[in-house]
Each structure stands twice: as structure tokens, then as C-alpha cells.
Structure 1
Amino acid sequence: MIRTRAVRWRRGMVFALPGLWVLAVVAVELLSPRGTHLVQLLAAAPALACAGTGRRQCVVLAGVCALLALVPLGSAGRLDTAARLGTCCAIVAVAALAHLLTAGRRRLMKELERAREVAAAAQRTLLRPLPPRLGGMTLAGGHLSVSEGALVGGDLYEALATPHGVRVVIGDVRGHGLGAIGTVAAVLGSFREAAHDEPELPGVLRRLERALQRELGEPSLGEEFVTVLLLEVGSDGLVKALNCGHPWPHRLSRGSGRRVRAAAVGRGDPLPPLGLFPLPGRLPVARLTRLAPGDALVLHTDGAEDARDARGEFFPLARVLAEAAPVAPVVPAAVVERVRTALLRHTGGRLSDDMALMVLRRDRCRVAGPAQRPGALTSGRRESPPYRLEDTAPL
């Protein structure tokens, strides 16, 4: 509310400033001693109007100022007719020039707005919004780009429901901003195909590696690489992972009472990032954790952990996650928004790297159905399944 009032106040001042300028010049001209000629300053009013508000007010003020220049006012009354006509012509010339400049600026602004709309549509297609529900899970994601005006930077994420479970990728391309979009597109495009086609996670990762090699062309010699974390969440909540140089995720689970605790999960050293070295012949898949109904998994890029404030202190991600979801059930969208707000507050809005964040909450579980009595005869009706699916956490 306070910010809205401040914006309205600034807009009102922009509209009122040219008129206040004219009134001030006229007042000073009427009250100033003889010999002081300030009527020429009226030429600034049309320029101020065009720069701040638009061409219509510029034309109106130009006409008013031209008439005031022709009317003898105070010390201006001692000016001869030629001087007053010269002042009037100067005002008209300034108004005409400001009008032309404003028209060119408006055309450029419209072209820039169209270019931004096209870029926003392309970037939303590349890093499309996550669905709110997917394969029995509630999802939310968000990102911040260090490049001003860019919706997408060097971070990537995607989640897909496949016959093999919910598969998730999150990664970080070396560099940031618009220059990394080509690599992001190659990795995401490959994942969206391989996640459905490959029965095992190692096959998906190898497809990503081949797509990255095609994108980079010649060996990059360590100059270009991508950190990648691949996850597969089964119907029983088991989370399998392949990690190539990426930060391990955090798990949000219910502790004592309804309190939620945040803990990092992940064992062992990750593989090198894609692009630095060829993948080894054997890719060990880590059984990361098993999500109970209502538990959530938070995936992030290193832009969150490495962010610093003005004193050089790192962003306390684990503490912020615990504060973002103090009690169960965890709301993924709220966690993403609170972490993003806390990160901007911690850095003062001056990011040094792109940041991406994903939160996945398991909502469904298997509930045992009634057991069949031994020796019971089956009828021609379809039997009930041995389990049913229930939502355990309301949205």
C-alpha cells in the first residue's frame, strides 16, 4: 500500500511539474524588479511536458506559453514586440522539437515492448512453468536471473510424469544470463525426450551428455560444463538420484508435533559436471531417501547457497527453509516465494549468479484394501484393487 501511494505521488508530480514551472516563471516575472527578463524560461515547460507525460500536454502547454510570451507581464512589458515575438518563436520551436523526439521515443518503446513480449514467450516455452500437481505430487518452482530483463538464465529445471515415475532434472550451466540459453535449451530438450524413453536413470544422463556434446561442438576443455541432478521418485516415495557436480537437495519432513525440520540429503561425492570429462562406464544410482506422505524435497542451484550479503556472509539456506515451512503440511509455492524473498533481502537485490529452486511434496500413498478370505469364490465382477490412492495433504 505504501509503495502504491509513492508511485501515485511520483506520477502526480510528473504531470504537475510543467504547470508548476509555468506558474513559477509568471509569478517571478510579475514580482521581480524592473530589468529582469525571465519570460524566456517558459520554453522549458513544453520540453518538460513531452519528457514526462506525453505529446498532448506538450502541445497545450506550448500554446499557453506562447500566448504568455506575447502578453506584456511585469518587467517583460518593457520588451519590444520583436523580443516578444522571438521568445514566442523559441517556445514553438522547442515544443516542435520535443514533440518529434517524443514521437520517436514512443515508437522505440512500442518496438521494445513487442520484442520483450516475444522474448518472454520464447523464454516461457524454454523454461515452462511447472504443473501444480504431477504424478501424486505437488510442485512449485521459481528462478531469478542475474541478467536484467531476462526471465531465463543459466539455470534449468523440469519435472515429468513418466511410466518409470516422476523424473526431475535441475542444472546449472557455466555462466549466466542470456548467453547460456542455448545450452539450457539443448539439455532440457534432451531430458524431455529421454525421460520417457529410457527405462533407467543412467540412460537419461548419457542422453543429456550426448546432447551437450552436440551443442558445444568441439571439446570445451573445461570452459563449458553443466552441473546436473537427476531424480526419479517412485510411487512408493523412493527417490533415486544421479548427481553430476550439483548441490544435494534438502528434505522437509515432520518432526515433533507439526513442526517441520529441514535436513540435507545425499551421500558420497557426485560425478564431475557434464562437459568436463566423459561419463564413466558405470553410473551408480544413489538411493537418496524415501519420502513419506506429506514430506517435501527442495532442489536448488548453487546460486542460493553461494549468495552473499554486503558483509560477505553466505545465505543461510537451511535455516530459511525451516522458517519458510514452520509447520506441516508444507506448501511448495509458499516455500519458493519465501526463499526467493529472503534471498533478495539478504543480497540487497544484487545477485552474483542465477538461482533456481524446486519444491516437490509427496501427496499420495497406498492404503491396503480388504483382504480376500481364503477359498472365497470370485464372481464375474471386477475385483477391487489391493490399494487406493488418497491425498494426505490438502492444497
Structure 2
Amino acid sequence: MFRSLRAAPGAAGRADGEDDTSIHTPPTRAVVLVTLSATAVTIVLGALTGTAVLLLGLLVFLPAFASALCTPRQTALVSAWVSVVVVVPVALSGEALADRVVLALFALGFGALAVYGSWLRITREGALVSLRSTAAAMQRQILRPLPLLTDDVLVDGVYEPVQQDKLVGGDIYDVAATPWGTRVLIGDVQGKGLAAIGMAIDVVGAFREAAHREPTVTALVDSLEAAVVRHNGYAEQGGEQERFVTAVVVGVDTGSEAQLVTCGHIPPYLLHDGDVTAVGAGTEHAPLGLADLVAEPRTVSWFPFPEGATLLLCTDGLTEARSPAGTFYPLEAQLAGRVDITAGRLTDSLVSDVHAFTEGAQQDDLAVLALRRSPHRISGTGASASLGTTPA
């Protein structure tokens, strides 16, 4: 069994605790205060310059600002106030009749347009909020909140889609606690948009089903391959583009070694005793969906995964992040200074560092997972059925 240690609603893991489920507007008290302040400033300036009537005309544009920030009711309140403040003094002034009529019509017309503009904005924002709520619910079904704790490992991480308004991108991950140990998936679907998300849903669904059915990691990967091929078959029938998926599947049980199959994806990094090692480098296989193009079957690689070690999995949103000068993010060099910190701090610090490196210009979806073996789970060291505390 596994469980989530922290489940932020509307976000996958620490991916983004921002869940826009309401439209943000200023309080009415603040709207009234700003409106009265603007009116007072205009009157004072008019008295000092002797052009009070002309300056009052500037208040005509105040409802336009209100429509961009306020509710229709608040905008109507501002428009009514401006109409009274502008129309009454102008009507009583000694200006030419035509000028007074034009200014009064401007005040009334601008006020009506401002209220309509506010209503239109609120309607569109409401539709966007509804869409984001649906996307957030879909994301919770696709990507489990992190961190996750199984009997074998703690999995922590960060997920950030490049298009924050869509919440779900082409990067995927999942964790399954099975009778054969913990299986972990991280992957990257070719392309962007809804079609890529559809492929992501199929691959994650296939992983969740096959991880509990297949006793070997290679058989699990074969099931993912079949899911991608099936999806591409349906896509071809519908005239859509076929896609492949790069992925890494890791198997961790009570043995001192872990299993790895890399399918065209970035090899993981093992951090232990001050060293950083690329795991499985040189043993990569074809991405999911392209197995028919090569003759060699996919095989599993074994690597030492001792207690206290951390295994870092990521997508190319991290390794291919570039600075404004075009330099790629030096992941391995950055890992060298982070070998002895917890899984959560490791992923958080890497993501913060890459944001500083790129100066906030995120170029691709970003997923980073850190696996840390649960203590006393290696055979012969007193394995326990479950853990109640987070490993250090």
C-alpha cells in the first residue's frame, strides 16, 4: 500500500498549490474609497487651477478602470457616482450648451459601456474558472499528489506544466505499490496540447493496471508499449498525429538492488556517499511506441540502491532548461552539492535553482522525482509492513 503525505487540492504534489476556483475582485469598501479619493483629488486640483469643470471630465474614464477590476455591481456604483459628480456641475456651469450636452452624454455612455464590459469580463472569467476546476479534477486523477510513501520508498517531487492555465502537460509520473515491490514511472509524451494529454492518460492508466498484474518490470514496460501502440492506432484512424513516449520505469523491493528500464528517456541519477552517478547510461532502449523499429528487446538493468541513497528522476524540462545566454542547465554539477539532503528539499532546491538559472523563462513542462529508500526495508534488516514517519 502507499499513501500521500501531503495532498494539496487542485494540484499534483507540490506542483502548484494555486487552485483558482473563484474570481478575485476588490472589496466594495476599497472601490468606494478609491472613487471618493479620485473625486476629491480632481475637485482640489480644479479649485487650485480654476478649471474644475474641465477636470471633472477626467472622471468620465474612472468607470473604465473599474470595469477591468470590479464586479458589474461595483462598476455600476462607480458609474452612477461619476455621472452625478460630472453631469450636475456641468449642467449648472456657464459652458456652451453643446459642450455640456456632449460631456454629459460621454459620462452616461462611458458608464453604461463600463458596466457592460465588466459583465462581459466576469462572464468570461467565470467560464475560465469552470474550465480550470475541471482541469484540476482531471489532474488529480492523472497525477497523484506528492509526496507518496510506500513500504519500500518515499517518492517526493515537483511537477510544473509550462502552460500554467492548462494545469496538465505532457510530462507524466506515477507510483504503484505492488506485490513485487514499488514501481515508479516518469515519462514525457511527444508534443503538446490535448492530444498529448490523451496519450498521457492512456499511459498512466496502463501503468496503474499493469503494475499490479505483471510480475516483472520488462513485462510492465511491454504493457505500456502496447498501450501507446493502441492509442496511436486510434489516433491514425481519426487523422491525428502518432506520438511516442520517453519513459523510465524503476522497480524497488526489499533487495539491496533496484531495477530500471529506460525507454529513450534521461537516465536517473543516484546520489549516495557524496557521489553522483548516472544510472543505466548506455543501456537506453527505444521510446514507447517505437519498439518495432529496433530488433533488440527491452531488458532490465540492475543497480545498487542502498539505504540512505536517493534516486533522482526528471524530464527534459530540467536538463534542457536554458539561460538567457543559451547555456543548458548543468544538472549533474548542481547535484554534486546536494547529495546529502532530503528528497523534498532536493527537488524543491533544484526547481528553485533552475528558475533562477532561466530567469523565470520556463521553456517546457517540468517533472522532478526523488526516491529515497525507506529505512530497514532491505532484506535481513528488519523490514516492517508500513512506516509512520518520513525518512530523513
> Common fold, TM-score beyond 0.5?
yes
Within 2, Cα distance between the matches of 1:64 and 1:269? 73
Matching residue of 2:314: 300
Within 1, Cα distance between the matches of 2:106 and 2:192? 50
Q: Could you say what secondary structure the match of 2:185 adopts?
A: strand
Within 2, Cα distance between the matches of 1:348 and 1:35? 48
Matching residue of 1:351: 362
Matching residue of 1:8: none
Matching residue of 1:364: 375
Matching residue of 1:244: 263
Matching residue of 2:333: 319
Q: How many residues align?
A: 357
Relative to structure 1, is the Cα distance of residues 71 and 171 closer, same or farther in structure 2, using a 3 angstrom cutoff? Answer: closer
CA RMSD after TM alignment: 3.2
1:66/1:92 contact within 8 Å kept: yes
Q: How does 1:1-395 map to 2 (within 5 A)?
A: 15=31, 18-32=35-49, 37-72=54-89, 77-79=93-95, 84=100, 87-217=103-233, 218=236, 224-255=243-274, 261-278=275-292, 280=295, 282-287=297-302, 289-325=303-339, 327=340, 330-365=341-376, 387-389=382-384, 394-395=391-392
Relative to structure 1, is the Cα distance of residues 71 and 238 closer, same or farther in structure 2, using a 3 angstrom cutoff? Answer: same
Deviations 1:118-150 (A, max 9, x none): 111102211222453112311112222222412
Within 1, Cα distance between the matches of 2:305 and 2:97? 89
Percent identity, aligned pairs only, is: 32
Which runs of 5 or more structure 2 residues have no equivalent in the other structure? Answer: 1-25
Relative to structure 1, is the Cα distance of residues 276 and 139 closer, same or farther in structure 2, using a 3 angstrom cutoff? Answer: same
Name which structure has the greater RCO, CA cutoff 8 Å, separation 6+. 2
2:310/2:372 contact within 8 Å kept: yes
Which runs of 5 or more structure 1 residues have no equivalent in the other structure? Answer: 1-10, 256-260, 370-385
- Mean CA deviation greater in 200-209 or 275-284: 275-284
Deviation for aligned residue 1:323: 3.2
Within 2, Cα distance between the matches of 1:21 and 1:282? 74
Deviation for aligned residue 1:252: 1.4
Relative to structure 1, is the Cα distance of residues 108 and 134 closer, same or farther in structure 2, using a 3 angstrom cutoff? Answer: same
Q: Could you say what secondary structure the match of 2:93 adopts?
A: helix
Deviations 1:264-289 (A, max 9, x none): 222433112122341646432211x2
Q: Could you say what secondary structure the match of 1:197 adopts?
A: coil
Deviations 1:199-238 (A, max 9, x none): 1122111111111111011599x96211121211121231
TM-score, L = length of structure 2? 0.80
Matching residue of 1:383: none
Relative to structure 1, is the Cα distance of residues 61 and 282 closer, same or farther in structure 2, using a 3 angstrom cutoff? Answer: closer
Relative to structure 1, is the Cα distance of residues 179 and 341 closer, same or farther in structure 2, using a 3 angstrom cutoff? Answer: farther
In our comparison, the structure showing a higher alpha carbon Rg is 1
Deviation for aligned residue 1:17: 5.6
Within 1, Cα distance between the matches of 2:118 and 2:134? 24
Q: Could you say what secondary structure the match of 1:42 adopts?
A: helix
Q: Could you say what secondary structure the match of 1:272 adopts?
A: coil
2:183 corresponds to which letter in structure 1?
A: R
1:130/1:158 contact within 8 Å kept: no
1:145/1:177 contact within 8 Å kept: no
Deviation for aligned residue 1:45: 2.0
Relative to structure 1, is the Cα distance of residues 151 and 42 closer, same or farther in structure 2, using a 3 angstrom cutoff? Answer: closer
Deviation for aligned residue 1:116: 0.6
TM-score, L = length of structure 1? 0.79
1:146/1:176 contact within 8 Å kept: no
1:284 corresponds to which letter in structure 2?
A: T
Relative to structure 1, is the Cα distance of residues 187 and 38 closer, same or farther in structure 2, using a 3 angstrom cutoff? Answer: same
Deviations 1:276-313 (A, max 9, x none): 341646432211x2222121111111221111101111
Relative to structure 1, is the Cα distance of residues 232 and 394 closer, same or farther in structure 2, using a 3 angstrom cutoff? Answer: closer
1:130/1:159 contact within 8 Å kept: no
Relative to structure 1, is the Cα distance of residues 18 and 319 closer, same or farther in structure 2, using a 3 angstrom cutoff? Answer: farther
Within 1, Cα distance between the matches of 2:333 and 2:175? 26
2:152/2:181 contact within 8 Å kept: no
1:177/1:354 contact within 8 Å kept: no
- Mean CA deviation greater in 242-251 or 86-95: 86-95
